[in-house]
Chains A and B, each alone.
Chain A
Amino acid sequence: MSLLEIEGLDLDIHGEAILKGVSLGVAPGQIVGVIGESGSGKSMTAFSVMQLLPDGAMCRGRVTLNGHEMLALSEQSLCRLRGNEVGMVFQEPMTALNPIQTIGAQVAETILIHEDVSRAEAMSRARGALERCELPEAKFPLSRYPHELSGGQRQRVVIAMAIALRPKLLIADEPTTALDVTTQAQILQLLRRLVDEDGMGLMLITHDLAVVADMAHEIVIMRHGEVVEAGPTARVFAEMRHPYTRALFEASGHQPERDETRRDVPLLQVREVVRDYALPRTRLFAPQEHFRAVNGVSFEIAKGESLGLVGESGCGKSTLTRAILGLEEVQSGQILLDGEPVFTGHRPNREVRRRMQVVFQDPFGSFNPRWKVGPLVTEPFHLLDDPPTGAARDAAIAEALESVGLSAEDRHKYIHEFSGGQRQRIAIARALIIKPELIILDEAVSALDVSIRAQILDLLADLSGRFGLTYLFISHDLSVVRTITDRVMVMQAGEIVEEGPTALVFDAPQHDYTKTLIAAAPVLPDRGAA
């Protein structure tokens, strides 16, 4: 008999249909991957099992957990089940813990709520749960507060809370999405170990096919609140009966067609760049201490080339971006675009700046919500001494918008009228409008769903061919970098540890850190091979 059985589950929130006839099951010791893009209803399915739904939610159908009819139970009985028979882990570890309670107290609470034990015993069992989640006593005593831990460590605390009472089912809602790739691999490893040790069922919700590919026994693919395909992992990957499954799979490993011509003339030269930040003084008269965010970085990008820069959060890639864009001055070293320095005499060089632009990650925060698209995309004209006006300006706007697949009329709309993918197109139009030579793509596709991401990657490849653009492609996502770059650099703790042609670096990494990164990155099986 299944541990969790969902049959024909409908969910309405304030009358809006969120889930339509969802059915799926999880057996003891089984890992079921639930996959879908944003708005597919995958998280709401999880919350329906927990019966932790927002106000105005209405469930119909059957949800049976270990013999309990979850939809028929009173709130009181549900509280007895939550944390005891079913535990849950969330996406955002930074905010999932109470900031003003120790981790020990928070893990022990799971035990104290459900069992009549002394505080001391609960604490010692909490210690045990943290040990199982690989947080050893010596480094992580119970008296630690959440803010003293990293994101991955906090996620381990959340997992310890969820498994403290060895529940029969664990629900993990995008547990690694907010984490770096190496941390993600460790957390997934931990979850797998716990499933094996406790014979627990695991419902693993993710947007990333590759994450579940080599881990889940069964896969459930969701779209618009419905299950479109489900079955054993190997079979789903082999058969792909539903066109959406196929589309999702293809988009995940999408390889844009790229024009590979380039000239061997360096466009951007970065030489021995060092960037220090002053740290806040710990004592009043202590000597000023510095944090070296970028340490002696050198590289070149040839005209027409696409260079990838890969690294985990805090490795210095954002600092390097700001230095290249001339937003911050560096302490030593040189940054030259076509032989011209981006900074001359402590001031950014306008001549150089107008030849490069940037596209950011967040399609929602990249635009002033009070401006229309027209003024938004023409903002870089500020860099020109003699910006076009009147008809010339209108023509420039039309050209930029049309080249990214939007219409010239879109200039009269506000930014909230566009979807995430469209906004990212507008961001690219804004970068294109002054016809730059270099575009820095700072995690430019990281926030997008895979199908949208594939379209934007195609657009970028197409534009680079049409306008002879040079890209510096910054990302934490190795699979994306692999598909769109000629060469790749790996950055760790402010230094470039490895550099080379993309295919070579991925197939035969030299540096240990690169090896770790590549090993940690989840990969999709080849079509039909799994």
Chain B
Amino acid sequence: MLRFAFKRLVSLSLSLVVASVVIFLFVEVVPGDPAAYMLGMNATEETLAALRDQLGLSGTLVERYLSWVGGMLRGDFGTSYTYRTPVSEMIGERLWISLPLALYALTLSTLIAFPAGIWAASKRGSVADVSVMGLTQLGVAIPNFWFAMLMVLVFSINLRWFSAGGFAGWESGFLPAMKSLTLPAIALALPQASILARVMRSSLLDTLSEDFIRTARAKGLTKRQALWRHALRNALIPVLTIIGLQFSFLMAGAIIIENVFSLPGLGRMVFQAISARDLIVVESVVMLLVFAVIVVNFAVDIAYAAVDPRLRVRG
């Protein structure tokens, strides 16, 4: 088990290094002179030089890359050109909205999908199964930002149960803050929950047709017992993969949903940075999100091994 974790850790670090090189090359090398790009047409030689200095553009490519990565390892993401504040501080503030939002959505999605998927699979072909599958078919097809807009129309504008946007702030208390994240989290969670419920159902149905379920039934287990004791844990393996993949969709989706609800999260920050050509901020946010995706997939790999003893030895 430890060796398995270690091997995964090595490949995790490798992915991070390669990802950082790709991002670095794309954002700092492809545009030519990033300083000129960021300042636009009417930059003077002096401001250009000052910015180059601030960006650390003086050294060779390798030196610049190493100092960028070294900085990040120390928690220093550089200084935003437009805001003149350290990027790490800006990210730190906004992460406290984006991350809780993604986790809230992931929790909702799992809480909806697991019972729905299990219920549909255990009643295969019944009215319950058909209606759950029909609803998830709609849930998969609905664009989440449009669904968010419709919820604003119904729950904020017509019913006035929620505010149409903005964030109450954690300092106003846990519940008010969560309340302002609720509509965004539902909008994010619904399509993911639909996908997850479908995967859960089909994976469970596949497992239920395996030989060992027949063996369990021959021992005297009822259908229900066979499902809960033998099928479910085996069926979890593909479901875990999807949960891992969904995290990256949730992080990315959060960026878009924040726009609908005017939440001051990473998403809004990145769009402002794009229009201000603030490459430092864009680069940092992209790296952070890629880091999150890779780490979550690492966690999923470790979770596999916890579920499936065969993986522990194979590594």
Touching chains A and B, CB distance < 8 Å? yes
A interface list, Cβ under 8 A from B: 50, 52, 75-76, 79-84, 87-88, 90, 92, 95-101, 109-110, 113-114, 145, 147, 158, 161-162
Known: A92-B211, A100-B234. A84 touches B220 (CB 8 A): yes
Q: A80–B214 Cα gap in the complex (Å)?
A: 16
Query: Do A75 and B229 touch (CB < 8 A)?
Result: no
A82 to chain B: which residues have CB within 8 Å? 217-220
A113 to chain B: which residues have CB within 8 Å? 219-221, 225
Q: Across the two chains, which residue of chain B brings its CB closest to A158?
A: B215
Q: Across the two chains, which residue of chain A brings its CB closest to B312?
A: A145
A161 to chain B: which residues have CB within 8 Å? 215, 219
B interface list, Cβ under 8 A from A: 210-212, 214-222, 225, 229-230, 233-234, 307-310, 313
B216 to chain A: which residues have CB within 8 Å? 98, 109
Query: Do A96 and B211 touch (CB < 8 A)?
Result: yes
21 residue pairs bridging A and B, Cβ less than 8 Å apart: A50-B218, A52-B214, A52-B217, A79-B220, A81-B220, A82-B217, A82-B218, A83-B221, A92-B211, A95-B212, A98-B212, A98-B215, A99-B234, A99-B308, A99-B309, A100-B309, A100-B310, A109-B216, A109-B229, A114-B220, A145-B310
B215 to chain A: which residues have CB within 8 Å? 88, 90, 96-98, 158, 161
Which of B219, B308, B309 meets A109, CB within 8 Å?
A: B219
Q: Across the two chains, which residue of chain A brings its CB closest to B229?
A: A109
Which of B211, B222, B229, B307 is packed against the most chain A CB atoms within 10 Å? Answer: B211
B219 to chain A: which residues have CB within 8 Å? 82-83, 109-110, 113, 161-162
Q: A239–B307 Cα gap in the complex (Å)?
A: 57
Q: A457–B29 Cα gap in the complex (Å)?
A: 71
Shortest CB–CB separation between residue B30 and chain A, in angstroms? 35
Shortest CB–CB separation between residue B302 and chain A, in angstroms? 16
Query: Do A79 and B222 touch (CB < 8 A)?
Result: yes
Q: Across the two chains, which residue of chain B brings its CB closest to A95?
A: B211
Q: A50–B215 Cα gap in the complex (Å)?
A: 11
A92 to chain B: which residues have CB within 8 Å? 211
A83 to chain B: which residues have CB within 8 Å? 218-221
Query: Do A97 and B220 touch (CB < 8 A)?
Result: no
Which of A88, A90, A98 meets B234, CB within 8 Å?
A: A98
A-B contacts at CB below 8 angstroms, number? 75
Q: Across the two chains, which residue of chain B brings its CB closest to A101?
A: B230
Query: Do B234 and A52 touch (CB < 8 A)?
Result: no
A109 to chain B: which residues have CB within 8 Å? 216, 219, 221, 229
Q: A406–B220 Cα gap in the complex (Å)?
A: 49
For the complex of A and B, list the 6 residue pairs with the smallest distance between their C-beta atoms, beginning with the closest: A83-B220, A83-B219, A95-B211, A88-B218, A82-B220, A98-B212
Q: A32–B14 Cα gap in the complex (Å)?
A: 62
Query: Do B309 and A147 touch (CB < 8 A)?
Result: yes
Q: A32–B211 Cα gap in the complex (Å)?
A: 24
Q: A145–B308 Cα gap in the complex (Å)?
A: 10
Known: A90-B211, A95-B210, A113-B225. A100 touches B308 (CB 8 A): yes
Which of A75, A81, A87, A96 meets B212, CB within 8 Å?
A: A96
Shortest CB–CB separation between residue B227 and chain A, in angstroms? 12
B230 to chain A: which residues have CB within 8 Å? 98, 101
B313 to chain A: which residues have CB within 8 Å? 147
B308 to chain A: which residues have CB within 8 Å? 99-100
B233 to chain A: which residues have CB within 8 Å? 100
Q: A90–B217 Cα gap in the complex (Å)?
A: 12
A76 to chain B: which residues have CB within 8 Å? 222
A52 to chain B: which residues have CB within 8 Å? 214, 217-218
Q: A75–B224 Cα gap in the complex (Å)?
A: 12
Which of A76, A96, A98, A162 is packed against the most chain B CB atoms within 10 Å? Answer: A98
A147 to chain B: which residues have CB within 8 Å? 309-310, 313
Shortest CB–CB separation between residue B218 and chain A, in angstroms? 4
Q: A465–B230 Cα gap in the complex (Å)?
A: 56
Query: Do B218 and A87 touch (CB < 8 A)?
Result: yes
Known: A100-B234, A145-B309. A110 touches B212 (CB 8 A): no
Q: A352–B218 Cα gap in the complex (Å)?
A: 54
Q: A213–B302 Cα gap in the complex (Å)?
A: 52
Q: A82–B229 Cα gap in the complex (Å)?
A: 17
Query: Do A90 and B310 touch (CB < 8 A)?
Result: no
Which of B212, B214, B217, B313 is packed against the most chain A CB atoms within 10 Å? Answer: B212
Q: A113–B226 Cα gap in the complex (Å)?
A: 11
Q: A266–B212 Cα gap in the complex (Å)?
A: 50
A100 to chain B: which residues have CB within 8 Å? 233-234, 307-310
B212 to chain A: which residues have CB within 8 Å? 95-99
Q: Across the two chains, which residue of chain B brings its CB closest to A81?
A: B220
Q: A77–B102 Cα gap in the complex (Å)?
A: 48
Shortest CB–CB separation between residue B85 and chain A, in angstroms? 44
Shortest CB–CB separation between residue A123 and chain B, in angstroms? 16
A98 to chain B: which residues have CB within 8 Å? 212, 215-216, 230, 234
Shortest CB–CB separation between residue A177 and chain B, in angstroms? 14
Q: A114–B219 Cα gap in the complex (Å)?
A: 9
Which of B211, B216, B218, B309 is packed against the most chain A CB atoms within 10 Å? Answer: B218
Q: A503–B199 Cα gap in the complex (Å)?
A: 58
Q: Across the two chains, which residue of chain A brings its CB closest to B233?
A: A100
Q: Across the two chains, which residue of chain B brings its CB closest to A51?
A: B217
Which of A75, A99, A161 is packed against the most chain B CB atoms within 10 Å? Answer: A99
Q: A173–B171 Cα gap in the complex (Å)?
A: 68
B221 to chain A: which residues have CB within 8 Å? 79, 83, 109, 113
Q: A95–B221 Cα gap in the complex (Å)?
A: 18
B309 to chain A: which residues have CB within 8 Å? 99-100, 145, 147
A97 to chain B: which residues have CB within 8 Å? 212, 215
Q: A83–B214 Cα gap in the complex (Å)?
A: 12
Q: A96–B219 Cα gap in the complex (Å)?
A: 12
Q: A101–B214 Cα gap in the complex (Å)?
A: 15
Q: A147–B212 Cα gap in the complex (Å)?
A: 13
B310 to chain A: which residues have CB within 8 Å? 99-100, 145, 147
Shortest CB–CB separation between residue B229 and chain A, in angstroms? 7
Q: Across the two chains, which residue of chain B brings its CB closest to A75?
A: B222
Q: A75–B229 Cα gap in the complex (Å)?
A: 18
Q: Across the two chains, which residue of chain A brings its CB closest to B124?
A: A55
